[in-house]
Each structure stands twice: as C-alpha cells, then as structure tokens.
Amino acid sequence: MNAELINPFLKAVIEVLSTMARIEAKPGKPFVKKDKVARGDVTGMVGLAGKQLKGSLALSFSEKAILQIATGMLGEPIDQVDDSIADMVGEITNMVTGITKKILSEKGYKFEMAIPTTIIGKNHSLTHKTSGPVIIIPFTVEAGEFFVEVCFE
C-alpha cells in the first residue's frame, strides 16, 4: 500500500485532535502489521467500500490516551470510559474518515463510508480479514498511545 493512501489518514488524525481537543498527536513510523498485535481499550472502526476499493479503518486507543482526548474535547476532567466516550470516539472516527475521504477522492480513490462502531473492552485485539497489507500508524499523546490501523484492497 502506498503512502498516498496512508498519509491522508495520518494528517486527518492530527487535524481532528488538534482542532477538537487542542491536543498534539505525535505520529511514529508506520509499519506493516504482522505478528505484532496492537491492543487497545477503546476502538473506533469504520468500513470503507467502493466499486474499486474496499478497506477498513480502526483508531485504537489506550484508556489513558482516550481519557486525555475526552478531557480536551469536552473541556472538563473525564476519568472514566462510558457511553459518552463511545459516542465521542464514533464522532472522531467519522471526522477522520470524512477528511480522508475528501482528500482521497480528489486523488481518484472513491469509496463510501459505512456506519462507525465503537468497541469498548480492556485490551482487545483486531484482526482484519484481508489479503492486502494492514498498516499501523502509532501515535502518542501526553498520557499514552494509540494506533491507527488502515487496510485497503
């Protein structure tokens, strides 16, 4: 999978967290997911589907990271993962996908977005059923880390 497909997701994540939560998310080096499984506590997922392209996006947060982001977005201290976090992560997933979809569409990659789903559960793992590569972009915020997983085929 080429950088042209991955970079828009990276930019969108930084933009959304900066705008909505005034948080600087620092990206690490993207890598291909192999044996190493990223585990998160709260994950926003959305399917991407078009005639030429299908894919999946997951934003998988550690509890500490998502609580810092929630605190930034809501402007008050948030110290537990509850329904409002599920809703917020769905919204972040929506915004990241919306921005990415627009950029990729201008480059000729067309797809529609499915309904985002938030998964909450300590230390869960994700496995994508694809013959193509799964790219992970690790991010850190002050309180912890999160991972963006993208696959396309």
Backbone dihedral angles phi then psi of residue 103, each to the nearest 5 degrees? -65, -45
Helices of type H across 1-82: 3-21, 63-74
- Using CB under 8 A, pick the residue from 18, 19, 105, 125 that binds a copy of itself: 125
- Using CB under 8 A, pick the residue from 38, 46, 67, 135 that binds a copy of itself: 46
Count of residues binding a copy of itself (CB under 8 A)? 43
Q: Which residues contact 36 (CB under 8 A, 6 or more apart)?
A: none
Residue with tokens 């605190």: 71
Rounded distance, CA 135 to CA 149, Å? Answer: 6
Q: Does 99 bind a copy of itself (CB under 8 A)?
A: no
- Using CB under 8 A, pick the residue from 9, 61, 109, 111 that binds a copy of itself: 111
- Is the distance from CB of 12 to CB of 99 less than 8 angstroms? yes
Q: Which is nearer to a copy of itself, 8 or 116 (CB)?
A: 116
State in angstroms the smallest separation of the CB of 89 from a copy of itself.
8
| Residues in touch with a copy of itself (CB under 8 A) | 39, 43, 45-51, 54-56, 58, 83, 86-87, 90-91, 93-94, 111-130, 151-153
